[in-house]
A and B are shown apart, each in its own frame.
Chain A
Amino acid sequence: MDSGSIAFLVLALLVMWGGLFLATVYLTLRPEPTAWPPGAEDDLTEDELDWHPDE
């Protein structure tokens, strides 16, 4: 492969795969905001959920 194609291959992988890795790490470390607006008190966050009305 010539240097131009290697550079663009690396660019594509860095942005997409690197971006996916960073975004996933960020989502894992901060899955939710630290505070919610008022209201919806009875509503659980997604990972507290155990209610499935369609079953």
Chain B
Amino acid sequence: MAARAGADPEARPHWSGQMGFVLSAIGSAVGLGNLWRFPAVAYENGGGAFLIPYLVAFFTAGVPILWLDYAIGHRYRGSPPLALRRIQRRFEALGWFQVGLNVLISLFYAALLAWSASYFVFAFTRRWGADTETFFYDTYLRRPAGAGFNLDFVPATAGPLALVWLAVIVIIALGVRRGVERANVVFIPLLTVAFVLLVGRSMYLPGAETGLDALFTPNLHRLLEPSIWIAAYGQIFFTLSISYGIMMTYSSYRRRKANQTTTGLVVALANGSFEMLAGIGVFCALGFMAAKEGSPIDHLVGDSGAGLAFITYPRVVSEMPSSAFFGVVFFGSMFMAGFTSLLSNVQVVVASAQDKFNLSARQAALFVCGPMAVFSLLLFGTTSAFYTLDVMDHWVNNVGIVVSAVALSVLVVWVARKGRELTYHLTVLSTLSVGRIWRSFAGTFGPFVLVVWLVQWLYSTYANGYHSYPRWFLIADGWGAIAVCGLVGVVFTVLPWRSQPDDFTPWPEFSPQVAQRLAHWEDTLLDLSADDPFEAGEK
């Protein structure tokens, strides 16, 4: 029988080592968004010039907030509800809100993976034919004319969806090291090889240069537009899987003596490298297609979501030499990138249930993933799946995760005043130090930019709606999803713990003396002759 860790930090599962953690964290960060969101967002927001705000956002919000997640999960040794409760009891509700977000994301992300798996098979014979749009919406998804919910199951999508959930349940039941880590250790190197093959071949297609020109030609005058900067911060924020519990959970599985900041930097840069690679590959392919059709490239970059992957890309694949190979590698890459991200979403939910209800990995896989699979099939195995997915995805990402991130920074840094303690934690355990600048970015600048993003999004959605969906559907599916997360936050906080969450002392100790030494160290940081206050420890 598998051991039950509950909230006991000593019995918590662990990664097999630093490499296992790094690969799993990269697996979580590199997902479908890298493949289909980044290229379109970069193109729409100034092309090459977008890279300037993108890189600024990477270093001023992405990496600092990623480190904040690591610090909280690692210092307080728990899934979001447990770690946040250990900071302050009432913060547990935010942890459960994050769990709610991960539940919803898992439900629709599994559907996207099921579609990718189907297209992986279709690619062998290019079953989508000449009209990829009609094939995707009408033949494959059997999408009805108007948005709404129904229970008309589509065997072609529900079957693969059930298989995706079966795979998830088996891997989660195997535990953190034997299940999640091993899946990442297999998939991430495979994904890297597949990506390099795909991009390498794409660069030699006729017309690839036109695609690269479209992606990288800098419209520098656009740097003066605030919307470009907001888009860059949004992209960085969404691509790194930060502030909704994943990185907190993953870092809670690390040993106490574990390098935090340098591994975080490697993970963030690896994600950025995949993103650049995807941008290059996708735009080379689009350049080829534009040359083939004799049409401008912007006709092909209309969609940054599923449309790019399931409508535009199959068209491109059909025109390519060795098209079956290209299609198989593209949809195989998409499946691998998405599957490792899905595992991380589900692991947040499972870890939180394990911590609170003292369950083993197998029990959690059965009692947590089982019901999630059923809900996923009910919502996304039907003809209304596309509409439900589109709206839920939009609201969970733009409202749910942004609210969660702002609340996390404000509560931890400003309400609980844990900024210095977490600075100390990261610095003494890592080979890269952090200080006041990190606290400013993670605690002030990051949340400020996200509030600006949220206000802009709310204004635009209120004024323009979302696509042409009826208002009742946006309220039910979009705002309803956020309300469900809020409800999860309240209900699961009220339920009693079946372990001892508060029987815990964070390590390393942060006493008033240590706080004083930290302040002194920060004051004299530029004075190389000053004593390093953290060198006095043991080896």
Q: How far is the CA of A26 from the CA of B264 in the complex (A)?
A: 12
Residues of B within 8 A of A43 (CB): 255-257
* Nearest CB of B to A15, in Å: 6
Is the beta-carbon distance between B269 and A20 smaller than 8 angstroms? yes
Q: How far is the CA of A17 from the CA of B539 in the complex (A)?
A: 33
Residues of B within 8 A of A33 (CB): 259, 428-431, 534
* Interface range for B: 35 or more
Is the beta-carbon distance between A45 and B273 smaller than 8 angstroms? no
Is the beta-carbon distance between B255 and A34 smaller than 8 angstroms? no
Is the beta-carbon distance between B255 and A49 smaller than 8 angstroms? yes
> Binary interface profile of A, 2-13, with partner B (CB < 8 Å = 1, else 0)?
101111110111
> Binary interface profile of B, 412-439, with partner A (CB < 8 Å = 1, else 0)?
0000000000000000111100000000
Q: Per a CB cutoff under 8 Å, which of A31, A37, A53 touches B534?
A: A37
Is the beta-carbon distance between B55 and A15 smaller than 8 angstroms? yes
Q: Per a CB cutoff under 8 Å, which of A30, A32, A38 touches B537?
A: A38
Stretch at the interface among B211-219, B228-236, B452-460, B490-498: B211-219
CB contact under 8 A between A4 and B217, given known A16-B272, A26-B431, A54-B176: yes
CB contact under 8 A between A52 and B14, given known A1-B213, A5-B216: yes
Is the beta-carbon distance between B539 and A4 smaller than 8 angstroms? no
Of residues 1 to 25 in B, which have CB atoms within 8 Å of A's CB atoms?
2-3, 5, 11-18, 21
Is the beta-carbon distance between A46 and B254 smaller than 8 angstroms? yes
* Nearest CB of A to B268, in Å: 9
Residue of B nearest to A51 (CB): B14
Residue of A nearest to B428 (CB): A37
Q: How far is the CA of A39 from the CA of B3 in the complex (A)?
A: 26
Q: Is B538 an interface residue (CB 8 A)?
A: yes
CB contact under 8 A between A23 and B262, given known A8-B216, A37-B508, A37-B537: yes
Having A2-B217, A8-B48, A53-B11, one finds 7 other A-B pairs with CB under 8 Å, namely A4-B216, A5-B216, A20-B266, A20-B272, A37-B538, A46-B17, A49-B16
- Please provide the 9 A-B residue pairs with the shortest distance between their CB atoms, ordered closest to farther: A8-B48, A54-B175, A37-B508, A5-B216, A54-B13, A20-B269, A16-B272, A35-B537, A30-B431
A-B contacts, 6 of them at CB < 8 A, read A4-B218, A9-B280, A36-B257, A46-B258, A54-B2, A54-B5
